[in-house]
Structure 1
Amino acid sequence: MAGETAALVGAIVLGVLYWVGWCWREGGGLPGLILKTGSTALLAVFAYMAGGPWLLVAGLALSSAGDAFLAMDRPGEDKWLKPGMAAFFLAHVAYVALFWALPQAERSLLNLGAQFALVIGGVAFVRWLAPSLGPMRIPVFAYTAIILVMGAAALRLPAPFLLVTLGAVMFVASDMILSLQLFTRPAGAPKRVGSSLAVWGLYFFGQALIAWGGVYPFLQPAG
């Protein structure tokens, strides 16, 4: 257990350092790239070393690649945005496949209502955002579709995977705030510290919950 514990602790340390000192800056440089990418890469290492499902490891590793792409953009540039979105799209595909493969909770009005609210709310949000998207309209529509499917799939997981569900919802919330930063912020305007902290905090700790919650049930002794 020492190796995976070290990887998890290392991920949290790097994630918190990036959260406190870099996520709100316009350009984090090489230190920011290392902290940002390293934090989610170590979550993938943790999941692998702890014997988590390979789809969980793949989702975390692809997310780390997406973080690397987005961290390489300089202020005012977005040439790495599409590769970053593609990596995250594939990460969500891995998560959807993982969540569908896990045990499912009994259908109830509560989880059906939560799924309905998530999907309708997401569709309404992206429709409202559409006039600001310009040439990114189709990539954003495709990305929105897969992340809403991911979130809806997470809402069907049973109680032992509650942390996964919470982490997935945090991931969706983070991306909604990030989309406002990317597509509605006036050109040349600086990042807002509060929203930047919210984006990274929801995203990183959401990923950490997905990693821990996706591994933990498999570490329990058989009953």
Structure 2
Amino acid sequence: MKKKNILWLYLFLLASTLDIFFVANGQSDQRFFTKPLIIPFLLAYFFFSTAQLKGVLLRKTMIAALVFSWMGDTLLMFPKLFLYGLGAFLMAHICYIVAFKVSQQQPFKVGRVNFIRLFFLNFPIYLFAAFVYFYIRGGLGEMKIPVIAYLIIIVMMATTARERFKNTNVISFWQVMIGASFFLVSDGILAINMFYQSFTESGVLVMGTYVIAQFLIVRGILAHIQYGHTT
């Protein structure tokens, strides 16, 4: 990873900080200039840091995930386009699922599966998703089916991140796992604010956890590329 690519991270940090500042101060109009820039800067960092992997599936799926995330960010700025923004992020998570799957040792190896053990390993993720759904279910209305579909996909994204344990290096696993967890938290806060009870701190919490999530996922995948399956 060339050091000059760090410039894109600084720009990502600047755009993210400004956007969160505008959220905290209720300056919605200024966010039209900051929010659409957050993911493109992170995408540029990943794109140039993986130039040597041109044509590789992992690179393609990560780029696609970031592009869909950017689309989701942009669409969600317009309340009437919420469903389209939700769809864009659903596609982003599907791309992340594929990326997390291929960024591990022997990703498609078929073996004996202990479903009881698997359930308990993933139980904290299931519990969080059930907790969020319990609170928002009464306010979903016509959005019930799209939100449930989205919830299932993001749970799959998080469980696929957990699946990488001991199938990649420690740095990559924890960065991706923590990033996926922050994504769950970010979307959970957004859902509770929209469909259960709004609260003033939600905007800052949603964007703060979201920015951390995207950053850690990108850094974690880059760590897998750089160090591979090492301890």
Query: Could you say which TM-score interval applies, normalised by the shorter chain?
Result: 0.7 to 0.9
Classify 1:87/1:23 alpha carbon distance in 2 versus 1 (closer, same or farther; 3 Å). farther
**What is the deviation of 1:23?**
5.5
How is 1:172-211 mapped onto 2 (pairs within 5 angstroms)? 172-185=184-197, 192=200, 194-211=201-218
What secondary structure is seen at the aligned counterpart in 2 of 1:22? Answer: helix
1:50 aligns to what? 49
Contact kept? 2:8, 2:44, Cα under 8 Å = yes
CA–CA separation in structure 2 for the residues paired with 1:80 and 1:23 = 23
Q: Give 2:28's aligned residue.
A: 28
Tell me if 1:63 matches 2:64. Answer: no
Determine the structure 2 residue equivalent to 1:134: 141
Q: Which moved more, 1:210-219 or 1:81-90?
A: 210-219
Tell me what 2:123 maps to: 116
Q: RMSD of aligned C-alpha atoms?
A: 2.6
Query: Higher mean Cα deviation, 128-137 or 96-105?
Result: 96-105
CA positional deviation for 1:3: 4.7
Q: 1:4 to 1:79 in 2, by over 3 A?
A: same
Give a deviation string over 1:74-123, Cα, whole Å, max 9, x none. xxxx3110110010000000001111112169x99997534122124313
Q: For structure 2, which runs of at least 5 residues remain unmatched after alignment?
A: 51-57, 108-112
TM-score, scaled to structure 1:
0.84
Q: Aligned in 2, Cα 1:148/1:32: closer, same or farther, shift over 3 Å?
A: same
Q: How many residues align?
A: 210
Q: Quote the Cα distance in structure 1 between the aligned partners of 2:215 and 2:229.
A: 24
Quickly say closer, same or farther: Cα 1:100–1:22, change in 2 above 3 A: same
For residues 19-58 of structure 1, give each alpha carbon's deviation from its aligned partner in whole angstroms, at most 9, with x where no partner exists: 1223662x622x3122112111211111111117221121
Offset of residue 221 of structure 1: 9.0
Q: CA offset at residue 127 of structure 1?
A: 3.7
Q: Which of structures 1 and 2 has the larger relative contact order (alpha carbons within 8 angstroms, sep 6+)?
A: 1
> Is the 1:150–1:168 contact (alpha carbons within 8 Å) kept by the matching residues of 2?
yes
> SS where residue 57 of structure 1 aligns?
helix
Question: Do the aligned partners of residues 43 and 137 (structure 1) sit closer, same or farther apart at CA in structure 2, a change above 3 Å counting?
Answer: same
The 8 Å contact of residues 58 and 94 in structure 1, kept in 2 or not, is answered as yes
1:169 aligns with 2:205: no
1:160 and 2:174 correspond? no
Q: Does the residue aligned with 2:213 lie in a helix, a strand or coil?
A: helix
Output the TM-score relative to the length of structure 2.
Answer: 0.81
**In 2 relative to 1, CA 125–220 (structure 1 residues): closer, same or farther, beyond 3 Å?**
closer
Instruction: From the superposition, tell whether residues 110 and 173 of structure 1 become closer, same or farther in structure 2 (CA, over 3 Å).
Output: farther
- How far apart, in 1, do the equivalents of 2:219 and 2:226 lie? 10
